Amino acid sequence: MEKLIIGSHVSFNKEDGLFGTVKEALSYGENTFMFYTGAPQNTIRGKIDEAKTNKAKELMKENNIDINDVIIHAPYIVNLANNNDEDKYAFAINFLKQELKRAESLGIKKVVLHPGSHVGLGIETGLHNIITGLNAVLEEEEGPIICLETMAGKGTELGKNFEEIKTILDNVKNNNRLLVCLDTCHLNDAGYDVKNFDNLLEKFDKIIGLDKIGCIHINDSKNEKGAHKDRHENIGFGTIGFENIIKIIYNEKLKGVPKILETPYVSISGGKDRTYAPYKQEIEMIKENKFNPNLLDDIRNYYKKS
Ligand code: FE
Ligand code: FE
Ligand code: ZN
């Protein structure tokens, strides 16, 4: 049996570079991971430290992490769908070009991108802007791949259904450099029935093709199907539920696809104090294939001790 490729969102800081991200992923028992090359909400990015990158690659090798499964997430403020502000639009294109260069210098093949929000321009114009933008970003025939993430359809978000993603894929010239990132919370919130994932994959296959799935974000959702909210929940504690998520993670058709958790951090008091990553305990639960109703308390106790 092919092994499960599972990881989570981890942090990348200037001091430790990629080496720090690998260490964090390993501390959660992961064999892949995803990170932002800086803060997710801004576009300030430092230089890539080659020595730390090489150390990170060694550590990955020692621990059987295949760098082809590692993902970068582009900052979510980059918006290719709206070109009202020409400078901003040009900045977004240029930033993504640089982001792909950063990925390349780290040896990473996949960069997840939110397609964008049209912010009043309308769906058609928004999609057109995304296509124009991606054609500029993916000017070269070869290079890292952009995985377009399926979105919840919050506000004017595009990529909320397979048809919109398909339109983008069909109209970008170098679409050999495009794949799709399915996000279980987003699919649910967009109105797809993720509780019947085989059926959903069949739809996806008909419209886009299963070979286009580049990665999967595994999240439970705080909201009902079709709520267009996009609020992630810890595995088994939301409206999708543990059993349904397990069926997605272990789905035969998704073998070999990296699965990334982006579930919320947990605070010790349950209030607004410091929060801690839930991933170690969630991944243990997933590997044991048995729901742990005390998961959140287990996380709190684990961090209280350390
Ligand atoms: Fe995302
Ligand atoms: Fe996501
Ligand atoms: Zn989300």
Q: What is the pLDDT of residues 225-260, one digit of tens each?
A: 999 999 999 999 999 999 999 999 999 999 999 999
Residue 175 has pLDDT above 70, yes or no: yes
Burial class (CB in 10 A: 0-12, 13-18, 19+), 115: buried
pLDDT of residue 2: 63
Tell me the whole-structure pTM to 2 decimals. Answer: 0.96
Could you tell me the distance, in angstroms and rounded to a whole number, from the CA of residue 36 to the centre of ligand 1? 10
Least confident of 21-25, 47-51, 150-154, 184-188: 47-51
Ligand 3 centroid–CA 128 distance in Å is: 23
Task: Using the mean position of ligand 2's atoms as its centre, give its distance from the Cα of residue 263 in Å.
Answer: 9
Ligand 1 centroid distance, CA of 75 (Å): 9
Does residue 269 surpass a pLDDT of 90? no
Distance in Å, CA 57 to ligand 2 centroid? 25
Query: How many other β-carbons are positioned within 10 Å of the β-carbon of residue 1?
Result: 4
Cα 187 to ligand 3 centre (Å): 10
Give the per-residue pLDDT at 47: 87
> Average pLDDT, stretch 63-84?
97
At residue 182, the pLDDT reads 99
Q: Which ligand is nearest to the CA of 113?
A: 1
Distance CA 44, CA 38 (A): 7
φ, ψ (nearest 5 deg) of residue 71 = -125, 140
Instruction: Specify the pLDDT at position 13.
Output: 83
CA distance between the termini of the chain: 35
What's the gap in Å between 273 CA and the centre of ligand 1?
A: 25
Specify the amino acid at residue 219.
Answer: N
Q: Tell how far the Cα of 305 is from the centroid of ligand 1, in angstroms.
A: 32
From the CA of 40, which ligand is nearest?
A: 1
pLDDT band at 268 (very low <50, low <70, confident <90, very high): confident
Residue 142 has pLDDT above 60, yes or no: yes
The helix (H) or strand (E) run that includes residue 267 is: strand 266-267
Ligand 2 centre from 151 Cα, in Å? Answer: 8
Q: Which helix (H) or strand (E) holds 158?
A: strand 157-158
CATH class of the domain comprising 6-305: alpha beta
220-225 — which CB contacts under 8 Å span 24+ positions?
220/184, 220/185, 220/245, 220/263, 221/184, 221/185, 221/188, 221/189, 223/188, 223/189, 225/188, 225/189, 225/191, 225/192, 225/193, 225/194
Chain CA centroid to CA 250, Å: 18
Distance 229 CA to ligand 3 centre (A): 9
pLDDT of residue 189: 98
Query: For 78-95, what is the mean pLDDT?
Result: 97
pLDDT at 14: 83
* Arithmetic mean of pLDDT, 292-299: 97
Q: Give the span between the Cα atoms of 280 and 266, in whole angstroms.
A: 12
- Give the pLDDT of residue 71: 98
Structure tokens at 68: 């082809």
* Distance between Cα 146 and ligand 3 center (Å): 17
Q: Is the pLDDT of residue 195 over 90?
A: yes
